[in-house]
Structure 1
């Protein structure tokens, strides 16, 4: 998106973060009429950007063939435990800039193993910085593989892009829908982020182009139905998310609203009003997010905030994560995320939509 449309998006982002949009001279007045006008402009901008595409993104009846070699898809999957026994097995999908080991080895994977819950994680290409359409093939293959091994429906827990990209797999590989019981997203980038616009002005990784609010990829993903019958969707997010922006009502990027799936959109501050959690913490160590993940996995249907004890508001970290473990592992997460934003190959336009998504 370029020209006037891009300028409107950058102006909307500046309003959200309290900065003066580039190219506007003078001092922004604080009058109530101007604030009302800015709010109205933001509403119109976001409504236009998040409107479903009219043509691209229609569901497919037949799954497209993979473009990735079967051996590479197999090699991306790491599993633990016997998926045929115990609680529902879980597929873990990492966020942008991360590997599944960085994202999950010291938190969810460790706890699932201790609880006797089998799990697999899928490594997305290039630290999940490449074309998300291709990442969707990895997730579709992982769903099929774990489901076949388990002989029963599986659940998915994903962070950021990892909470969104399974929806691409479910949409365009329709046989996978009957294989999934729960899709749980932690700060999922379901409708993108305004933050990607300034980042991509000088070129950025393909996955960042695709996660811009209003991208062709997201319009295709969210066209028609966002959810599918028989699947419980728990979308867990924080109002203090600095990466997926905005993530507050009425335009929370993570929230879902259409389709026949059973949807629960849960703002962690609805449980703990003064809770502060950044984006990376939500996907790794946040105690409220963790409680909602376990609630969804251990009950029929999606997460229900009414079942969460308010005692969780007194915790600093999710169970099983010590302060020392958090310090060492979260430092690694921050370092790798920052490095990937610098070293990942850049693109200067969004990847073209695959033929099956047009």
Structure 2
């Protein structure tokens, strides 16, 4: 049995995005896309129009329970699972799933320090930039990498047997950043300031892809990681990002999305260097009804990872663990974050050596829940509403590009 853990939030500027069903704004969106294709409207004009559509949307309903939230999401997905992201963000707002009001007040109900990337953190006691001559070279200044780590006031720095846990988010903003460098630095830095002990990391979405790239090209990080817990991961990319980049390359798209396409050059490079298999004890947690990571079912799931190195892997799909039960029903990309079985698997991995083991869980009870114990309706709504912010950030991110970013020389 492993000791307790202490968490810190990793405020790396990373990316995330999603979509849902159709709405009356479809005609506006189609008109904008047509205008760009016909070169009667430039990208900046198109983005301005679509951002205004989001800003003007208003809620006409208020969900009263997590079950109602799930029903709303399920209905939207069933109606049109691959509709354009702006149309579906508007539907979320109209259904009251915009609790954080991200368009008008991006961090309204949250502590803004969590999302900060200009933090003042202490120098490490040993050099970790780089830690080993075998590691890939950094292109981002060390001060910038360190400033992206948010350390809470109650962080224990490995004292009292508490192992640090790093939280790495998914796709959100600053797609031009070399995101894996932030992850690589954070792992060795947090280990160094915590007495040189091991750390664990929980990632979501693109964060999982960045972490696997880190483990592949910064081998020193493998020695300091006890657990890699991947929520809604995408080790093989996703077909969904082709939907997010319609008419590419005629219409430019966000760099990060191009790298996350199924079998992109980025993904192919990772897998060619052995990144299709775990380097450290790894627990994957995903939903077959994920509407962003496609495919995400069975051994073909993008979030599924191999154990060719024998380090210990546990691949967990809600619908397989809880068939025809509440916890195995419809959970979207973001819904993975509040699933009760997902939380239990995370705790199990952190408190035992090796990856999570579903046989240690009380699935009879857990599978009957919709939301992890301790989470409220507000937590569920806030999680789902993040997608409105995601779409807004997706639109406003520049520069958009017509080619996938080049692979770094060290990975050639």
**Could you state the TM-score of these two structures normalised by the residue count of structure 1?**
0.71
* Mapped contact 1:195–1:212 kept (Cα < 8 A): yes
**Partner SS state of residue 265, structure 1:** strand
Displacement of 1:319: 2.2
CA RMSD of aligned residues (A): 2.0
Long gaps (5+) in structure 2: 1-79, 83-131
The CA distance in 2 between the partners of 1:92 and 1:188, in whole Å, is 14
**Partner SS state of residue 202, structure 2:** strand
Question: Higher Cα Rg: structure 1 or 2?
Answer: 2
Displacement of 1:18: 9.5
The CA distance in 2 between the partners of 1:216 and 1:152, in whole Å, is 35
Of 319, 329, 333, the residue aligned with 2:373 is 319
Displacement of 1:188: 0.6
1:228-247 paired onto structure 2 within 5 Å: 229=279, 231-247=280-296
CA deviations on 1:109-167 (whole Å, 9 max, x unpaired) are xxxxxxxxxxxxxxxx62xx335xx1010001100111101221110100001122111
1:1-358 paired onto structure 2 within 5 Å: 62-80=134-152, 81-85=155-159, 86-97=161-172, 126=174, 129-131=175-177, 134-150=178-194, 151-200=196-245, 201=248, 202-226=251-275, 227=277, 229=279, 231-260=280-309, 261-274=311-324, 275=328, 276-282=330-336, 284-310=337-363, 311-327=365-381, 329-330=382-383, 332-345=385-398, 346-358=400-412
Displacement of 1:66: 1.1
* More relative contact order, 1 or 2 (CA 8 Å, 6+ apart): 2
| TM-aligned CA distance change 1:18 to 1:78, over 3 Å | closer
- Count how many residue pairs are aligned between Structure 1 and Structure 2: 268
**Partner SS state of residue 208, structure 1:** helix
Long gaps (5+) in structure 1: 1-16, 20-59, 98-124
Displacement of 1:344: 1.6
* Mapped contact 1:163–1:185 kept (Cα < 8 A): yes
| TM-aligned CA distance change 1:159 to 1:245, over 3 Å | same
* Mapped contact 1:140–1:173 kept (Cα < 8 A): yes
**Could you state the TM-score of these two structures normalised by the residue count of structure 2?**
0.62
The CA distance in 2 between the partners of 1:258 and 1:234, in whole Å, is 11
The CA distance in 1 between the partners of 2:341 and 2:263, in whole Å, is 29
The CA distance in 2 between the partners of 1:287 and 1:203, in whole Å, is 39
